[in-house]
Amino acid sequence: MVGFFPINGQRIGIYALDVSGHGVTAALLTARLAAQLSDLTDQNIALKTTDLGLYDARSPRELLHVLNAQMLDELRTDAYYTMVYADLDLVGGELRLVQAGHPHPVIQRATGEIEWIGAGGLPVGVMKDAVFEELVPQLGPGTGC
């Protein structure tokens, strides 16, 4: 499943994920994740309310820790999933992302150079104390993901 949602006027959340297995369990988990990462701000688990009552995003690392805890503490299933989640600033070009066992994201620079991002990491829902590394590659004009 891939998707995106607005964080604010200049930032978007982007994700790609793949739930393990087939059948009802995988389908239900995928549907739950689709709802939790929807563009409905009051239901989106990636968003939080600030002290001023405005929406902002959890950091990519924080979101993956929340999702990992949810899988292990609440859902208690044998399923797991791989994921890449990114917070992209469309104005400044900053990209903050976390890779959790998912294939490597790729950046193509304006020069044509291809850059593979991330080291893999653990999937979501495998280990309670999983560490998710947050990466911050800088994008520029003419760069594509």
Residue 86 has pLDDT above 90, yes or no: yes
- Could you count the other beta carbons within 10 Å of the beta carbon of residue 48? 14
pLDDT at 69: 93
- Residue of 67, 92, 97, 98 lying closest to 81 (CA atoms): 67
Most confident of 41-55, 81-95, 127-141: 81-95
pLDDT at 92: 87
- Residue of 11, 8, 89, 92 lying closest to 55 (CA atoms): 8
Residue 15 has pLDDT above 70, yes or no: yes
- Polymer length in residues for the chain: 145
Q: What is the pTM of this model?
A: 0.88
C-alpha pair distances (Å), 107 with each of 81, 90, 95, 110, 140: 23, 15, 11, 10, 11
Q: How confident is the model at residue 136 (pLDDT cuts 50, 70, 90)?
A: very high
Place of tokens 């292990």: 72
What pLDDT, in 10s, does the model give residues 36-47?
Answer: 998 877 789 999
- Could you count the other beta carbons within 10 Å of the beta carbon of residue 87? 22
Calculate the average pLDDT of the chain.
Answer: 89
pLDDT at 26: 87
Domains along the sequence of the chain with CATH:
2-135 (3.60.40.10)
